[in-house]
Amino acid sequence: MLKREEEEQEEEEIKGKKKDISEGKEDHDSTVNANPEKDLCTIKRGLNVNKKAFLTEQVSAIIQCKSPLKYKDPGCPTISVMIGGKVVEKALLDLGASVNLLPYSVYKQLGLGELKPTSITLS
């Protein structure tokens, strides 16, 4: 019988705690500062620092809100190329990639002979 009464009393205490939490009662015993950012700012205002900091160009540009102009994507740059007396219009300009492929239509135009099968992997 005592165990039953103790269990009921514990349940009532738990319900009471849940009710306090759900009602949003504030904990007045708390010593935690509610606004630490404000305290940090007010402390910094009172300090006089006489040290110089040297910033890189990138950091200085960010602080001064100077960002470089952004340009649109130029698309695929193409040029006209002459290979063996034949003109190939709209050849893709090489911007540093090392892919050595030739379209079959250009190959036929140049008359380079018979093709040999080769397997390659592009990544």
- pLDDT by residue for the chain (123 residues), tens digit each? 566 777 777 777 766 655 555 455 555 555 555 566 666 666 656 667 677 777 777 777 767 777 777 888 777 778 788 888 888 887 777 666 566 677 888 888 888 888 888 888 877
pTM: 0.28
| CA–CA dist 25, 9 (Å, integer) | 22
Q: Does residue 84 form part of some domain?
A: yes
Q: Does residue 89 form part of some domain?
A: yes
Q: Encoding tokens for residue 123?
A: 């990544």
For residue 80, give the nearest of 91, 68, 65 by alpha carbon.
91
Name the residue range of residue 87's domain: 76-94+103-111
Q: Does residue 80 form part of some domain?
A: yes
